[in-house]
Amino acid sequence: MLGVVNLDKPVGPTSHDMVALMRRLTGDRRIGHAGTLDPLASGVLPILVGAATRFSQELTGGRKRYTATIRLGATSATDDGEGPITVVGHAIPDDAAIQAALTGFVGTFDQLPPAFSARKLGGRTAHRAARNGQALALAPRTVTVDSIEVEDISRTNEAVDVTIDLRCGPGTYVRSIARDLGERLGCGGYLAALRRTEAAGLRVEDAITPGQLESLQAGGRLADALLPVAELLPLPQLRLSEQEADRFRHGSRIPVSDGPPSGRLAVFDARDQLLGIGTVAGGELQPEKVIQPGSAA
């Protein structure tokens, strides 16, 4: 089997749990995912099956969209609802001030990852070190937020929940935005809920649940859940003749006159079958990732 499953991950399981589920259903160890979702998050988790795992980098690196609820009035050691939670007790600004502060996160800026994250430093994983009371000094990294739209602001005596629709680039931590919003407003904040609605060109409206995957497998129709990886690669396309395709499969450089003069490309044969990814430089196509004959992408 080869392709991508647009999985709607529920709250609770880890992304690795979803990989394990797909391994059990397919009997194939070559299963991966594009873009981790924390256990408390739900939504689009692209599951890569078979040779599609070779394109994890390309599918992880695209734009993403989330519906997020930020709770103001408290902080969290993990920057989300997993806690521990500490009530700040400071006054929470009005709706206009909250919306104004959120606009400051639109654009490109340096963001400090959460102490409890999968980032690594010196071979150590941040969340494991933090749980041992030895939080790592993680460096900020540059991220881009394309837009933030406020959908709802709900107030109680103790907290304010701000629900937003957020579009961003790869590597953006929504937990960090929640934490930093609380700091800017002086009242504390953390991520109370998160649902990824778009990733890798996939939408949550079209996603299938783990239960639906189980039903498809029971009916011998698991392949119906697979989407062609070729349709999801965010790269320009180049088509080769039959002779050129054979050379590409064997790792040979190929002179090219059509297509982009340089850069990475999704490469297809004359029958529109995905051959892999190549890089054009100096008028030649160099194979980078090659799908072996017999695979269907």
Q: What is the pLDDT of residues 249-284, one digit of tens each?
A: 999 999 988 767 789 999 999 999 999 999 999 899
Average pLDDT of the chain to the nearest whole number? 92
Known catalytic residues are 38
Q: Which pLDDT band, with edges at 50, 70 and 90, does 133 fall under? A: low
Whether residue 297 is predicted with pLDDT greater than 60 in this model: the reply is: no
Contact 66, 192 (CB under 8 A): no
Write down the pLDDT at residue 295: 58
1 or 229: which leads in pLDDT: 229
Write down the pLDDT at residue 292: 79
SS3 195: strand
CA-atom Rg of the chain in angstroms = 22
The percent of residues above 90 in pLDDT, for the chain, comes to: 81
Write down the pLDDT at residue 126: 59
Write down the pLDDT at residue 164: 98
Taken in order 194, 83, 128, 138, the sign of the CA dihedral is positive
Q: What is the mean pLDDT of residues 4-17?
A: 97
The pTM for the full model equals 0.90
Whether residue 217 is predicted with pLDDT greater than 80 in this model: the reply is: yes
Phi, psi (degrees; rounded to nearest 5) at 156: -125, -175
Whether residue 294 is predicted with pLDDT greater than 80 in this model: the reply is: no
State which H helix or E strand residue 103 sits in: helix 95-103
Write down the pLDDT at residue 130: 57
Write down the pLDDT at residue 127: 60
Q: What is the pLDDT of residues 237-248, one digit of tens each?
A: 999 999 999 999
**Highest mean pLDDT range out of 3-7, 129-133, 134-138?**
3-7
Q: What is the mean pLDDT of residues 134-138?
A: 66
Write down the pLDDT at residue 129: 58
Q: What is the pLDDT of residues 70-127, one digit of tens each?
A: 999 999 999 999 889 999 989 999 999 999 999 999 999 999 998 766 666 667 765 6
> What is the number of H-type helices and E-type strands within the chain?
7, 19
